[in-house]
Structure 1
Amino acid sequence: MVEKVITLENVSLVEFLGPDNQNIRQLAAAFPGSKVVSRGNEIKIQGQPAVISRINDILSALIEHYHEYGTITDKTVSQYLSSANEEVEEARMAAAPDVILFGAKGGVIKARTANQQRLVDAVMKNDLVFALGPAGTGKTYISVALAVRALKNKEVKKIIISRPVVEAGESLGFLPGDMKEKVDPYLRPIYDALEDMLPPEKFKFYMENKTIEIAPLAYMRGRTLNHAFVLLDEAQNTTPSQLKMFLTRMGPHAKVMVNGDRSQIDLPTKQKSGLNQALDILRDVPGIGFVEMTADDVVRHRLVKEIVLAYDQFDTEQEQERADQANRPVRPAQRRGE
């Protein structure tokens, strides 16, 4: 363990260190494997050389901030800590180009199957991408990771994520709470993914200033989505008019992803899926990417893959049985007395 001492000069210790040294304690808490202690006008740092270098850089930036603005608050410390963490992540990303993102707890988020990598590549090449496939193939998770990466890299100014709210036997009007409380359960998988990828304070900040918007599909009507990464999840449950409305919201410098599982359509029986119609209409339009996931891309519990395959086999057998019945000759009705 190495030690470094920084001497504060021409600085009001009360203003710089904060009440009860809260600014320095906040800095120390961000580096639990090291020790940061203030004694008079000296700050002593103990830790590994690389960590000491990062803490020294942050303290130098805070000292410059103090000389320019005359004060340091806990929010100031948080901003410089966040900026330092983003610089470290950029360096880590450069060293590991196959990584999409480093999660909030340091975990690596990257494509785990060939089709997931095709999805990543398709988003890099196209402004509109359809990701299709069964549950558990990582469509939503990879898409959210790509959106967060685009935001961190300043390729977009905001993230907009939407899902159609399709009721499953229980009317929204009879559920308790306001509209947000009614629809949040439908959007919970999106929140879960974002919480994996962003520190709690950052996620809260992005939500409060609308840098990240999570909303039902109906809220997209009438908007033009510029400089944004826009994701429509569960698109198999859109109607044709809803999906057309969503696709025509696409503004300049936007990335749009449409995810769906054609085997899990929850629309009323006679209602056509907007996703199926869009695939028929747009399949040959240049500049649109299509990636088809399969049971081999399932990254949940091993049984999920077997469940998907079993249902696929059942659906195939049912289709074959219906086809056989349609081709079977109709027996003429017998007359009475014959």
Structure 2
Amino acid sequence: MTPADASCLQSLKLRVVGSQDEIINAFYGRILSFPGFKEMIGQTCEREKIDIGQLVAHINEVQFKHWQRFFDGRPDKAFKDFANRIGIAHEKCLLSSDLYVASSAVILGNFLGLALDQHLDDAGQAATVKASLSAIVRMFFLDISHAISAYDNAAARTAFQHVSEPLLNAFEVEVAGDLKSMAGAAEDLNRTVKNIVDVNLGNMQRCRDIVSSIEALTRNLADLAQTTRQIENFVKVITDVSRKTKLLALNAAIEAARSGEYGRGFKVVANEVKALTNEAEKATRDVTRQASEIQDAIDHAIRQVSGSQRLVQEIDAGMTTESESIGAQSAAVSEISTTLAAVSESARGLRERFKTLNAA
């Protein structure tokens, strides 16, 4: 836009502002005569839950402010922002870009008519009208280019939203379902692992109790073996006494034989002592044999108990290792649960980013 263009537009501003109601009413009267336009506006009113009067009033408010900037002849940022708002508003009304250009031709015709009326009596009529019309056309199509650009961007966002929303919903439902199932399975596995850990801890404690009982039994068997050895020593003493008594009885018998008739009674006593000694020897032999058998049995029991103790200790060590391994698995399952929660949160964040993108 040149300064001359801006001057031409500014000279028309007062007439346009005074005629804007007439222009906009003529515009809507024209486009609403076409069934396609009327249907699109009706759909917009139904979607937004407003009547056509409210919709037209809202659009007019924005449009009138925009026309004032239009005829200031300054295509600055504020002008572009208003053009963008108008383009987005028409996109929400389901108006395609080609229909928007066609409907804008009605407005352009009104502007050109105002320019002709403004300069009809000018001395340099042809040149002035040409300059005014040229300025209007340039500014008008600059305006349309901004509006159509905003319209196309809004239409692209709407199309993207229509395409992405079902996909995103399906993705969210699918991912949420999978994550929920995986999280539930992880929780079940975690509970199972913890139960196994608890059972192992109980078994480990029972193994330690068994080891303690075996150790106590081993000590008791050792004490019994010691007692048996003491019995054997006592039997040795008895055997020695019996041997000496037997020898004494033999000497008594010899002395009785030497005494003849006078030693007969002493011989009887010596024979009884010898018989008693023989019985004592037999008894000590039996006790010795039984003590030896008991000692062998105790030694065998001690060996078996020691073997059982080693076996239980090995089981306890294995269960300790297994418990540590299961504990590590439990920690891994807990980490999986935490990771699934983070993935679920990321999916929700992705959903929010899509919403933000659609709203932009």
Q: Structure 1-normalised TM-score?
A: 0.22
Q: Which has the higher contact order (CA 8 A, sep 6+)?
A: 2
Q: Which has the larger radius of gyration?
A: 2
Q: Structure 2-normalised TM-score?
A: 0.21
